[in-house]
Amino acid sequence: MSSKVLASKTMASKTLPSRTLPGEALRNIVPPIVLALVLILCWQGLHLATASGAISSPAATLARLVVLMGSGRFWLDVAETGTAFAWALVLSIVLGIGLGVALALLRPVGEVMEPILVTFYSLPKVTLYPLVLLIFGLGMPAKIAFGIMHGLVPITLLTRNAITQLKPVYLRTAKVMRLSAFEAVRSVVLPAIIPELVAGIRIGFSLSLLGVLIGEMFASKRGLGFTAVNAMGLGDLDTIMAIGVFLALFAVLANGGLLSLERAIRHRSAGR
């Protein structure tokens, strides 16, 4: 599916005027770099302004990150968190899309559920922590559950929304072409809602990562979340900051990738 989408995207860019002018490329690269520099400067400023040691300096954090990345323990943590996150994300996507489709098809149920889900979405999920722990105990399942609790709802809501907002004339066209229900879903409904789905997945991605980390802080003895909390107990500020920066970089890069995928898909539907 996505490879088809990408293929047609490259076909589209052929017909558009070339956008690979050097000025254009600079315009795309310069703002993020400037933003990063400003952020680092602010960070340094904060470090200098606060009492010594309250916030590590960018240099100290970077040094600590390099040391961490050289240690086997760190990568075990990354693997642990990564596994929980991958499960949480995949399950959030599968369940979220499934639930979203169901709520869109069962319109009355969907209309009742929507405000409930929105409320749940804005609720601090930490309040449900004891419940999750009671059900799953300590360890991987609890972390995954926490990730899903954060990631599932936005994917569900955006999927439902995408389907209910589908232009009726697309379905009428499918009917007039005498497509089977399966064919209509595959070649009309799915491509029509894919931009929304990617948007939902992008938001679910960030949130389920957040959920897994929170889960690790409370319900685990391993993973980056646990190590960060542990470092907090030891007053090891550099480690906390280094893990924070590592996660932030990962999240920003992944988000950027998904965002450009979403844009590439939307590009055609919404104009230039």
Partner 1 sequence: MTVLAMASRDAPKAAIEPPAASLRGVTRHYRFPGGAKTLHALGPIDLDLRQGEFFSVVGPSGCGKSTLLDVLAGLNPPSEGTASFEGKPIAGVPDGIGVVFQEDASFPWLTVEANVAFGLKRAGIGQAEIDRRVDYAVGFMGLRDFRQSYPAQLSGGMRQRVCIARTLVLQPRLILLDEPFGALDQQTRLIMGDELLRLWRETRATVLLITHSLDEAAMLADRVGVMSARPGLFIDIIETGWPSDRDSRIVADPRFGEMTGRIWEKLRTETMKHMQTQGAGPR
Smallest distance, partner 1 to C-beta of residue 1, A: 11
Candidates 6-14, 24-32, 85-93, 123-131 — which segment interacts with partner 1 by CB under 8 A? 6-14
**b/e per residue, 113-130, with b = 16+ CB within 10 A?**
bbeebeeebeeebeeebe
Binding-residue pattern over the window 243 to 272 for partner 1, x denoting contact by CB under 8 A: ----------------------x--xxxxx
CA 217 to chain centre: 19
Rule CB under 8 A: is residue 1 a binding residue for partner 1?
Answer: no
Nearest residue (CB) to partner 1, 33 versus 169: 169
CA dihedral 233, 204, 143, 109 (to 10 degrees): 130
- Please give the structure tokens belonging to residue 75: 């990568």
DSSP codes, 106-149? SHHHHHHHHHHHHHHHHS-GGGGHHHHHHHH-SSHHHHHHHHHH
Candidates 20-28, 64-72, 78-86, 185-193 — which segment interacts with partner 1 by CB under 8 A? 185-193
Q: Which of 90, 185, 192, 251 binds partner 1 (CB under 8 A)?
A: 192
Minimal CA–CA distance to 222: which of 113, 84, 52?
84
Rule CB under 8 A: is residue 36 a binding residue for partner 1?
Answer: no
Nearest residue (CB) to partner 1, 145 versus 194: 194
Nearest residue (CB) to partner 1, 101 versus 194: 194
Strands, DSSP E only, in the chain?
A: none
Chain contacts with partner 1 (rule: CB under 8 A): 5, 8, 11-12, 14-15, 167, 169-170, 172-173, 175-179, 183, 187-188, 191-192, 194, 265, 268-272
